[in-house]
Amino acid sequence: MVASQFNAEYVRGLVDHTTTELRKLYPHTTVTTHQVPGAFEIPVVVRELAAHKKADAIIAVGVILQGKTNHAENLSRSVTDALQRIAVDYAVPVINVVLCFDNEAQARERCLEDQINRGTEAARAALEITNLMADLRAK
């Protein structure tokens, strides 16, 4: 996992839910978290991990809160585009959990609570795509 330190409470909620779900579904998995200052720095560390084949899947975690300008939208789009490019270029699944929210209520609901936690969903997606890629590579 590569996780932003910005909006730490929400990111920590996503990381905790992701880790818990990964260990529940696949108890022998190794989960390593690399922290970066903010969402903008996530892709460079994801690329480094992908380039060195350090993981079967990489989960990128960050929270961007919308302000009064379009900065959050631009940042979110830039990070998403970079993560997709890395996944395709290096053939390593990258699960994008760099989330942009309009307000803290949305962030709280999707990062801290259990009902629709995006970290839990990210863990499930990572395991599913990892298994699919292993099957495809074995053929």
CATH code of the region 2-138: 3.40.50.960
CA distances from 35 to 4, 5, 26, 50, 138 (A): 6, 6, 23, 16, 33
For the entire predicted model, the pTM comes to 0.94
CA distances from 133 to 45, 86, 102, 139 (A): 22, 16, 34, 10
Give me the pLDDT at residue 47, please.
97
pLDDT in tens, 80-139: 999 999 999 999 999 999 999 999 999 999 999 988 899 999 999 999 999 999 999 998
The mean per-residue pLDDT over the stretch 6-30 comes to 95
pLDDT in tens, 39-64: 999 999 999 999 998 789 999 999 99
pLDDT at 16 over 80: yes
Give catalytic residues, as residue numbers: 71
Instruction: Please tell me the total number of residues recorded for the chain in this structure.
Output: 139
The mean per-residue pLDDT over the stretch 67-79 comes to 87
Beta strands in the chain (DSSP E): 2-4, 34-36, 58-65, 94-101
Q: Contact, 97 vs 14, CB < 8 A? A: yes
The mean per-residue pLDDT over the stretch 61-71 comes to 88
- Whole-number percent of the chain with pLDDT over 70: 100
